[in-house]
Structure 1
């Protein structure tokens, strides 16, 4: 991971016994009835916390939680998340009711080496999202060194992700390191051919993404509602399907740029249609040239899946963001599920590198039972998308500069 200091660099530089190590985690986890309902983000940061604690560090955790608008709000307190974190780690874990000032300082002073302290929600202070230098410095006083292990927050130039690096030696944690390595393998320095799969409802949300990918991949598969806009822009009838006519010129421009870059655009050959969008709806599979005026395109058809399977057999790297159909409602999950299982099986055999990310994508891969066999599945949403768009992420760039 060129340009970023890792934990190995930290271990070489200093002894950790009693060292105050500030670590930016993403503990913005889903809650239900006051309990953590999905511990994925806790599981991702746990190895770094355990490793630091095992070396005798005082491990001090920073995180945001929800959107409290720069002031304390009890419903956004990290206290219940800290309890869940401690239970998962099996390490003595305490909580401080503020992330700066005397409250934090006293809690840190009381820590024993090898224990964990979770500081209160950084967004209880307006200086967090404003990236205020004074607040950044106040956070930095809590530690001797800083570790960012929250790639999912790295697209935000906030005090706890970027500002703090101006005041402390800064390193990438294990989860951050794994994410950056996976992303480099996917688009930075990939094995070719590279196939990108981009799905979802609207082209308008992913114009920058498509524009960046056609310059970097060998083939770009476009699915979901987005594909309808591209098909219609080429003169095909899409019935009552979701479509964005005001983006036909944009779609044609992307197609032209892809041809210039020698990137194959892969659109559906056949589609699954229905007259209404509901679970168990009566469906037909038709060629993309034969969509009736009263029909809705809701998934890719069997011929398209077979063609994608052939593409995946040739690929050495696959990057995936977005489902191929309306996967939340069966039977329109079939295309995404079958494609995911093909990629997962080839990944499991070591035949390709597969990297996926985005909330709907992760949900779809989990539903297909394929996520565990992908090379890497990113828990980051906005950060993963911005990285795919080619945008420099402030939290990552800060680690490169320090």
Structure 2
């Protein structure tokens, strides 16, 4: 049983359904250039329409800071939503007030309407209870299908839940089920792979994951700080010397929690970070003083893959190396492909998220082969940090 309510728990027919979606999509010359977020919410919108609901989408676009800005209107996005959903989508230039209410009054069962950018109202980001009450008056039911915005307590993500019956949409449901399956009650052995540039940005992530998984694989430049903490000389590699003591504390705490930490044993080094740079493979304790670590080496890759062969769950956040600059993408690609292979074989539940992570899995050509890949940024990171997300907490049973 889910810890949150879903569309299955409410009667939609004949009701006005306010649906919070993420339409903060890239637009160039009036055209949406990436339909991923629209494709994610399309099943929810179609289902609510099929159930006889009068569907009203709420979304933000950019950062207008409470002002009306023509270049941040959702009107150009409405056409893209219509194409993806395959049904007519009406648009109205406000989300409260006479225009919005008149457009809602004109809806028939199954109709779909997109309201204008919620952030055109200053009260949206302030979670103004007056704006929440005014917006809620338009609907009978609230559906949140925007996990990527759930870490913000805004009117359209949290304020409305105080006035309307509130449930998760299918995209939100899939995200929460994937994350809960990977962290709240994972099938064991469970592993987490955490990469990226800085320990400082992942401290809460590492601390929380230690109590959730059996194995913590650390890659990217952040591994360099942990190597420093173990007394390894890392040449000119990117690291955070002021966090060496913190890294040592994490290593010690992981041991008390019976969480094994895997660090690189060999590395790919070069004298500069650029595509096609002259690179060499060395043991991590033999990094030349004038070179930097830019990827993990083949022995480290083999060790990680061998560990994953024995795991049942994998949570991935962050690349193994500087994958944007071949040849420093080999570890990220190799481990991603191994995780995808194990997922397709049915032995591994693989969940990944974070901007760099999605880009890395796309680079490896395996984003579609993982069990679930989250397109959320800040919300995903806060979830794996163990924080309560206002937009999710409001949907709890």
Same fold (TM over 0.5): yes
**What is aligned with 1:147?**
143
Q: Does 1:33 align with 2:29?
A: yes
CA distance in 1, matches of 2:176, 2:43: 16
Aligned equivalents of 2:238, 2:71: Cα separation in 1: 38
* Structure 1: 5+ residue stretches without partners: none
Aligned match of 2:182 in 186, 189, 212? Answer: 186
SS of 1:256 mapped into structure 2:
helix
Corresponding residue for 1:250?
A: 246
Distance 1:245 1:304 in 2: 23
The yes-or-no answer on 1:69 pairing with 2:100 is no
- Which whole-Å CA distance do the structure 2 matches of 1:266 and 1:86 have between them? 47
Map 1:33-112 onto structure 2 (within 5 A).
Answer: 33-112=29-108
Q: Output the aligned Cα RMSD.
A: 0.9
Query: Which residue matches 1:4?
Result: 4
Question: Is 1:361 matched with 2:350?
Answer: no
* Cα distance in 1 between the residues matched to 2:62 and 2:86: 25
Cα distance between partner residues in 1 of 2:347 and 2:12: 41
Per-residue CA deviation, residues 222-267 of structure 1 (Å, 9 max, x unaligned), is 1001000110111111111111001001100111110110100100
Alignment deviations for residues 5-42 of structure 1 (CA, whole Å, 9 cap, x no partner): 111111xxx351x3111100000111222211111110
- Per-residue deviation, residues 64-104 of structure 1 (Å, max 9, x unmatched): 11111111111111111111101111111011100001010
Task: Establish whether residue 336 from structure 1 lines up as the match of residue 332 from structure 2.
Answer: yes
1:123 match? 119
Whole-angstrom CA distance in 1 between matches of 2:191 and 2:184: 14
Q: Does 1:306 align with 2:334?
A: no
Contact 2:19–2:143, Cα closer than 8 Å, also in 1 = yes
Distance in 1 of aligned mates of 2:304 and 2:139:
50
CA distance in 1, matches of 2:379, 2:284: 34
Shift of 1:3: 3.1
In structure 2, the gaps of 5 or more residues are none
Q: CA deviation at 1:112?
A: 2.6
Q: Does 1:400 align with 2:396?
A: yes
| 2-structure distance, mates of 1:193, 1:250 | 26
TM-score, scaled relative to structure 2: 0.99
For 1:171 and 1:108, how far apart are their aligned partners in 2? 20
Size of the alignment, in residue pairs? 397
Q: Distance in 1 between matches of 2:63 and 2:281?
A: 44
Q: Give SS of 1:336's match.
A: helix
Q: How does 1:179-258 map to 2 (within 5 A)?
A: 179-258=175-254
Structure 1 runs of 4+ off > 4 angstroms? none
The 8 Å contact of residues 142 and 167 in structure 2, kept in 1 or not, is answered as: yes
CA-to-partner distance for each residue in 1:280-321, whole Å, 9 max, x for gaps?
Answer: 001000000000111011001000000001100010000000
CA distance, structure 1, for counterparts of residue 3 and residue 262 of structure 2? 35
Task: Tell me, in whole angstroms, the C-alpha distance in 2 between the residues paired with 1:15 and 1:143.
Answer: 11
1:167 aligns with 2:163: yes
Deviation track 1:262-281 (CA, whole Å, cap 9, x = no partner) reads: 10010001000001111000
CA contact (8 A) 2:12 2:48 kept: no
